[in-house]
């Protein structure tokens, strides 16, 4: 599909390497690290929280190599939907891609909702008297503005995202530089007793919670994989944009985490009444360069949070479009805007769910929302996609692979174990919230929805399987379909 013309009325390949990397990094480094540093410190109980960011980086890098190979081999719109459809169609027909879209319609907007929660949280630094109702209304207004900006052509979006990426880099670098000018090694590297006692269950509970928060902060390295049909030379651009964004954000996060711990006493981050627990980056600037600088950087962080939500809804809205186009989701989602060629219903639906998730996060807590959204995505996306890579290597040796995973299958195994740790410790890290049970219930409900849909469409298990083997060389959207009884 690399370099091939798009089908009539379909997407246009206009996004290059810089813009693709900027889209990924804008989504990865939104409000995430600015609101999760205190959560990470609370999970580990001290400045050893940096372990969580390192562990998250390792998981993101290993999982990113899975995305890189799959994205280069099958560079269509939809990301995981496309990969799962190709890998699992032989045994279960369209079940796996349907379940992915079903879960993606929930976890992608929930990820965006955490960004809006963080936006309002930092806005509270500039407006200390901001009440609950006012914050709710402002957050809903931000979501409406993002949807309105995305209601236009991809060529405009690419330019807007590049500008937002520049603001994001500036805000992060200012916090890092400010921390470096007043850095205290004693504060950053003095650990409480038993901080590294790997024989205690407390350490591993903290590690699992930290890994969950860490991978949440890196989520977004796969955003351009959802936009494969709009990427120039996807066989080269997709893998590079994924790897460049992960490595770049990895360096930024470590500098940000260590620098913050060297300026703000970690005990302040665990005190709900302290500004460092809700707006830690603003607290860093206030401690180093004064309140004026803190206000300025807080504004930049707000823009960064906005850019993150912008990039996430941009990529996520493409998921139901590709599924509906291939008759694996509700048909109205296959309709593109007649002028600007973007999926209208997918964008509108995800915008609405983002609003609901934002209100849930505002009226519970951010850590619980992160745990819930991460757990929902583990089975059908993370684990199933790792399996899909191996399945496609065995079943489709003919599939062109411009990029092949380094050290295969080691990164796949590491990623699989990491996701299992997150899932296995979910209930213990969210006592009383039952994220495991909720994720399984949502998956079961998706199975029921699939059976209803499959009976209506008369496909497996109520009709023949249809095997559509894309080679990656035909024009986008072309498949070789073979009905199987």
Q: What's the CATH code of the domain at 347?
A: 1.20.1740.10
pTM: 0.84
Residue in the block written with tokens 């603001």: 167
- Say whether 243 sits in a helix, a strand or coil: helix
Any domain includes 249: yes
Name every residue whose Cβ is closer than 8 Å to that of residue 484 and which is 6 or more positions away in sequence: 464, 465, 466, 467
Q: Is residue 10 part of a domain?
A: no
Distance of alpha carbon 464 from alpha carbon 484, whole angstroms = 5
Residue 462 lies in a domain: no
Task: Match 């693709």 to its residue by tokens.
Answer: 20
482 in a structural domain: no
In a domain, 473, yes or no: no
Residue-wise pLDDT tens digits, 212-271: 999 999 988 888 887 777 788 888 899 999 999 999 888 888 999 999 999 999 999 998
Euclidean distance between CA atoms 26 and 167, whole angstroms:
9
Tell me whether residue 290 is exposed, middle or buried, using C-beta atoms within 10 angstroms of its C-beta: 0 to 12, 13 to 18, 19 or more: exposed
The answer on pLDDT for 34 being more than 90 is: no
How many domains does one find in the chain? 1
In a domain, 195, yes or no: yes
- Print the domain residue range for 87: 17-457
Residue 338: inside a domain: yes
Q: What is the pLDDT of residues 78-123, one digit of tens each?
A: 678 788 988 998 888 889 989 998 998 898 899 889 989 999 999 9
pLDDT at site 149: 85
* Structure-token pair, residue 241: 């944009």
Whether 107 maps to a domain, the answer reads yes
Q: In which band, very low, low, confident or very high, does the pLDDT at 156 lie, cut at 50, 70 and 90? A: low
Residues 316-339: tens digit of each pLDDT: 787 788 778 878 887 888 888 777
How far apart CA 247 and CA 455 sit, in angstroms, is 46
pLDDT tens per residue across span 387-401: 999 999 999 998 888
CB-based contacts of 353, cutoff 8 Å, min separation 6:
105, 106, 109, 110, 113
């Amino acid at each position: 599909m690399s370099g091939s013309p798009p089908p009539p009325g379909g997407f246009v390949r206009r996004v290059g390497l810089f813009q693709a990397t900027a889209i990924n990094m804008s989504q990865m480094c939104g409000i995430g690290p600015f609101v999760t540093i205190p959560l990470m410190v609370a999970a580990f109980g001290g400045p050893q929280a940096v372990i969580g960011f390192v562990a998250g980086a390792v998981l993101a890098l290993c999982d990113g190599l899975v995305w890189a190979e799959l994205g280069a081999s099958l560079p269509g719109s939809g990301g995981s939907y496309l990969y799962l459809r190709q890998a699992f169609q032989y045994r279960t027909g369209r079940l796996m891609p349907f379940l992915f879209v079903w879960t993606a319609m929930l976890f992608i907007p929930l990820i965006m909702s955490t960004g809006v929660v963080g936006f309002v949280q930092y806005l509270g630094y500039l407006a200390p008297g901001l009440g609950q109702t006012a914050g709710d209304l402002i957050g809903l207004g931000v979501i409406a503005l993002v949807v309105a900006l995305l209601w236009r052509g991809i060529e405009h979006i690419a330019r807007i995202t590049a500008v937002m990426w520049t603001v994001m880099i500036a805000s992060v670098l200012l916090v890092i530089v400010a921390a470096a000018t007043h850095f205290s090694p004693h504060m950053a590297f003095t650990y409480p007793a038993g901080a590294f006692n790997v024989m205690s269950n407390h350490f591993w509970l903290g590690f699992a919670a930290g890994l969950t928060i860490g991978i949440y902060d890196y989520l977004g390295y796969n955003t351009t994989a959802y936009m494969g049909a709009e990427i120039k030379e996807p066989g080269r651009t997709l893998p590079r944009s994924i790897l460049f964004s992960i490595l770049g954000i990895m360096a930024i996060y470590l500098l940000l985490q260590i620098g913050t711990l060297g300026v703000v006493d970690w005990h302040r981050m665990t005190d709900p009444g302290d500004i460092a627990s809700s707006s830690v980056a603003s607290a860093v600037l206030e401690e180093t360069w004064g309140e004026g600088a803190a206000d300025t950087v807080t504004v930049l962080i707000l823009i960064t949070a906005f850019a993150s939500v912008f990039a996430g809804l941009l990529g996520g809205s493409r998921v139901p479009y590709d599924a509906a186009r291939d008759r694996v989701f509700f048909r109205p989602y296959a309709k593109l805007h007649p002028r600007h060629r973007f999926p209208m219903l997918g964008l509108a639906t995800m915008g609405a769910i983002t609003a609901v998730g934002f209100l849930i996060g505002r009226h519970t807590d951010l850590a619980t929302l992160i745990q819930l959204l991460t757990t929902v995505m583990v089975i059908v996306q993370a684990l199933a996609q790792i399996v899909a890579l191996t399945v496609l290597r065995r079943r489709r040796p003919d599939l062109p692979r411009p990029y092949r995973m380094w050290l295969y299958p080691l990164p796949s195994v590491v990623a699989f174990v990491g996701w299992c740790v997150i899932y296995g410790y979910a209930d213990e890290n969210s006592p009383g919230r039952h994220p495991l049970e909720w994720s399984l219930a949502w998956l079961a409900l998706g199975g029921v929805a699939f059976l209803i849909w499959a009976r209506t469409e008369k496909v497996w298990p109520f009709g023949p399987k249809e095997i559509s083997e894309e080679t990656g060389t035909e024009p986008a959207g072309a498949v070789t379909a073979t009905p199987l009884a």
